[in-house]
Amino acid sequence: MDFFSQQDRARRNTRYLLVLFILALSLLVLLTNALFTAFLWVGRDYNIYVGGSGWEGYLALFSWERFGTIGLAVTSTVGFVSLIRWLQLASGGRAVAESMGGRRVMRQSADPYEQRCLNIVEELSLAANMPVPALYVLPEERGINAFAAGINPTDAVVAVTRGAALQLSRDELQGVVAHEFSHILNGDMRLGIRLASLLKGITFIGDVGHFLLRMGAYGVGRSNRRSESSAALPILGLGLMIIGWLGSLAAGFIKAAISRQKEYLADASAVQFTRDTSGIADALKVIGGFLPGSLVHSARAPEMSHIFFGEVRHRLWDGFATHPPLDMRIRRLDKNWNGQFIQRPEVRYATGPLSENHTQTGVGRAALVAAAMASSLSDQSPATGSSPATEDADFALQNNTTEQIPEALHTAVTEPLGATAAALALVTARRNSKQLEATLNVLREQGVQGQLELVLSLLPQVRALGPGHRFPLMAAAMPALKNMSTPQYRQFKTTLLSLIRSDGQTDLFEWCLFQLLRHYLDPEYLRVENSRPRYRHIAKVRAPLRQVLSVLAHQGNGDSSQAFALACNDLQLTQMTLIPLEQCSVAEFSRGVHTLADCYPLLKPRILKAMALAAADDGAVCPVERELVISVAAVMDCPLPPELSLG
């Protein structure tokens, strides 16, 4: 699956959505004008209109001035409602999950089913080379369903229903979550939020009609004096409700037109992530044989039906379904399916230990990731799940070292104070004895109570970490870092930046660490402006590419000139020369990376591929090169899919 092509297709689908929205809005304007004209025409007893009858009398009421006024009113109302809905949903996936009744799952959760979901999300995050998204559970939903929400991967969340957590085996749940991860990487989430916002504007007219219908009935019932002035309101309200119903049909058609093909793509991507077709195929079979199916009873679910794994409501006609039929999805994954769904007794409570069926290790790529995470610890800790170790640990951690993350260090980063202390310790550990006192003074002045002591306690273990384990440690800390309050995050960010500047210079690792944390945490707490595509052709970014590729070429153990030339040849850039190491600065490198972030989606994978070729020029990707490429990909808002992973 070419995730970058799908991201570009998602951008084109946004334009397609806009065209369909304009057509639907035009239809609503015409219908509203027709309704208002009919309202005038039938107002015979209230002297609203006195004139001819029949079709000619109806047409005689038409007025271009009234048409423009009504059209402007409808367009303004729809636009205003869509904007308000966009602002509500654009705050991140958390707002969507909480509006559905979701509850965030913490690492400290004692529920074994929730722990298993957390482990799966972490495994797939490592497999996708992206930060761990927050996990939510919909505790009141018996149906088997899930969704991913957010504007971009930095503020994404994954949510599963309680039914999915209880009813599915580990392999099946892994397939469902992998399906949602593909929506994150394919760029479907932003399209889904835009779709929900625009369609809310279209269906709002029906809400107005319902309000007028109730107000009219209320006015008639109150007094005879008010009845003459309000008796026409139910007629107008009923008409608007009918228009709103037609708008809902148009909204359903738009959702079906855009969403259904994406579900097939996401199913295929889930197979690519897990290297197994049976997991997601069996999950679909379980839904077919499960009485509640994939139904979701949240009041907001129909509005957001297009972001779910399965249908949230029964439909009399599949023409407006946002998802393909189950049997068609299953047959694309399992060509030998006999047509029988999986019947499984419903699990209603999750108080005991997991059964053998629910603790089996995942398969393929994500299973190796889980095994590697387990083997990276000196002992098995409760926070790491029950996945057994394998000899292929370095595959998941993307490095060739055999050093281990201490258990105490891994445990510390599962809560916010320990996670922030670990990040600060990573910077402090790079200071020599002369610089250390100045660094500690920064912590004394700006650190929160108890943070200095915790940093000092973690410092020996952090110093013992090899470069290949620094970013995996931060990946493990990311969920805890997202649990801070906004004032706590601002304080942490200020302290980290002061710590980096305390020695008067910023080295490459410090830049990578700060950019990685800023990029993935800022959207959780602050309103940030995403980069906008500006550069469609590689020639437009020659200068920043030269800076970035030169810095990367100097980090490896091989011939830097050869590595630089290899990347330039892959990008078909001629007459570009390597910048000498002494002329490479972190400041220029940073400016170059942020310029590359403004490239068009299909240009970014070419750049990342060229960087990967340069990093692997000497036959091995060292941890520093890997950290550099991952940080650049993060700033470019371009998660590394499996085919571009650095091994």
How far apart are the C-alpha atoms of 210 and 208, rounded to whole Å? 5
Asked whether residue 181 is assigned to any structural domain, the reply reads no
Least confident of 118-127, 138-147, 330-339, 397-406: 397-406
In this structure, what are the phi and psi dihedrals at residue 577, rounded to the nearest 5 degrees?
-110, 150
More confident site: 573 or 227: 573
Asked whether residue 408 is assigned to any structural domain, the reply reads yes
Asked whether residue 513 is assigned to any structural domain, the reply reads yes
| CA 508, 514, 515, 520 torsion-angle sign | positive
In this structure, what are the phi and psi dihedrals at residue 325, rounded to the nearest 5 degrees?
-60, 150
How far apart are the C-alpha atoms of 178 and 120, rounded to whole Å? 9
Strand pairing category for 157-161 and 134-138 = parallel
Asked whether residue 340 is assigned to any structural domain, the reply reads no
In a shared domain, residues 459 and 546: no
- Over residues 64-80, the pLDDT tens digits come to 777 788 788 878 888 88
Least confident of 175-184, 193-202, 509-518, 584-593: 193-202
How far apart are the C-alpha atoms of 506 and 212, rounded to whole Å? 63
At 400 the pLDDT is 33
Tokens representing 11 are 């951008």
Tell me whether residue 109 is exposed, middle or buried, using C-beta atoms within 10 angstroms of its C-beta: 0 to 12, 13 to 18, 19 or more: middle
At 467 the pLDDT is 77
At 551 the pLDDT is 92
Residue that terminates a domain, selected from 525, 560, 580: 525
389 band by pLDDT with thresholds 50, 70 and 90: very low
Residue that terminates a domain, selected from 469, 491, 525: 525
Q: Which residues are within 8 A (CB) of 297 and not within 5 positions of it... i.e. 6 or more apart?
A: 140, 141, 143
Asked whether residue 438 is assigned to any structural domain, the reply reads yes
Asked whether residue 299 is assigned to any structural domain, the reply reads no
| CA 193, 197, 199, 204 torsion-angle sign | positive
Least confident of 99-108, 227-236, 250-259, 599-608: 227-236
Asked whether residue 605 is assigned to any structural domain, the reply reads yes
543 band by pLDDT with thresholds 50, 70 and 90: very high
Across 606-631, average pLDDT: 85
Residue 188 DSSP SS3: helix
8 band by pLDDT with thresholds 50, 70 and 90: low
Residue 214 pLDDT greater than 50, yes or no: yes
In a shared domain, residues 542 and 521: no
Task: Supply the range of the domain harboring residue 83.
Answer: 3-94+192-260
Spatial CA neighbour of 643 closest among 67, 46, 98, 3: 3
In a shared domain, residues 508 and 544: no
Catalytic residue at 625?
A: no
More confident site: 92 or 116: 116
In a shared domain, residues 501 and 625: no
Across 536-559, average pLDDT: 90
Q: Which residues are within 8 A (CB) of 374 and not within 5 positions of it... i.e. 6 or more apart?
A: 380, 384, 385, 387, 388, 389
At 645 the pLDDT is 53
In the chain, the amino acid numbered 562 is Q
In a shared domain, residues 77 and 207: yes
Across 84-111, average pLDDT: 82
At 391 the pLDDT is 26
| Adjacent-strand bridge partners of 377 | 405
In this structure, what are the phi and psi dihedrals at residue 211, rounded to the nearest 5 degrees?
-65, -45
More confident site: 129 or 586: 586
In a shared domain, residues 440 and 542: no
At 117 the pLDDT is 93
In this structure, what are the phi and psi dihedrals at residue 135, rounded to the nearest 5 degrees?
-110, 130
In this structure, what are the phi and psi dihedrals at residue 506, rounded to the nearest 5 degrees?
-125, 120
Identify the top-confidence range among 343-352, 470-479, 527-536. Answer: 470-479
Mean pLDDT of the chain: 76
Residue 426 pLDDT greater than 50, yes or no: yes
605 band by pLDDT with thresholds 50, 70 and 90: confident
**Which percentage of the chain shows pLDDT scores above 90?**
15
Residue 472 pLDDT greater than 90, yes or no: no
How far apart are the C-alpha atoms of 629 and 414, rounded to whole Å? 26
- Annotated active-site residue in 122, 123, 172, 180: 180
Q: Which residue has the tokens 């258990």?
A: 407
Across 295-312, average pLDDT: 85
Residue 419 pLDDT greater than 60, yes or no: yes
606 band by pLDDT with thresholds 50, 70 and 90: confident
DSSP for 444-476, written as a single string = HHHSPTTHHHHHHHHHHHHHT--GGGHHHHHHH
Residue that terminates a domain, selected from 525, 546, 573: 525
More confident site: 136 or 78: 136
Structural domain count, the chain: 3
At 216 the pLDDT is 59
In a shared domain, residues 571 and 511: no
In a shared domain, residues 593 and 499: no
How far apart are the C-alpha atoms of 604 and 611, rounded to whole Å? 11
Least confident of 121-125, 425-429, 545-549: 121-125
**Cα–Cα distances in angstroms (integers) from residue 81 to residues 95, 191, 197, 391, in the given order:** 17, 18, 8, 55
316 band by pLDDT with thresholds 50, 70 and 90: low
Q: Which residues are within 8 A (CB) of 427 and not within 5 positions of it... i.e. 6 or more apart?
A: 439, 496, 499, 500, 510, 513
In the chain, the amino acid numbered 209 is G
DSSP for 379-390, written as a single string = S--GGG-SPPP-
Sheet holding 146-149, edge to edge: 103-104, 134-138, 157-161, 146-149
At 17 the pLDDT is 58
Identify the top-confidence range among 33-37, 403-407, 539-543. Answer: 539-543
Residue 360 pLDDT greater than 60, yes or no: no
- Over residues 491-500, the pLDDT tens digits come to 899 989 988 8
More confident site: 525 or 121: 121
In a shared domain, residues 570 and 464: no
More confident site: 535 or 371: 535
More confident site: 256 or 225: 256
The three-state DSSP-derived secondary structure of 399-440 is CCCCCCECHHHHHHCCCHHHHHHHHHHHHHCCCCHHHHHHHH
In a shared domain, residues 555 and 609: yes
In a shared domain, residues 212 and 71: yes
Across 10-16, average pLDDT: 56
In a shared domain, residues 27 and 79: yes
Asked whether residue 390 is assigned to any structural domain, the reply reads no
Tokens representing 315 are 């439909």
Q: What is the CA radius of gyration of the chain?
A: 28
How far apart are the C-alpha atoms of 515 and 591, rounded to whole Å? 12
Identify the top-confidence range among 119-133, 205-219, 294-308, 355-369. Answer: 294-308
Identify the top-confidence range among 89-98, 187-196, 356-365, 478-487. Answer: 478-487
At 230 the pLDDT is 52
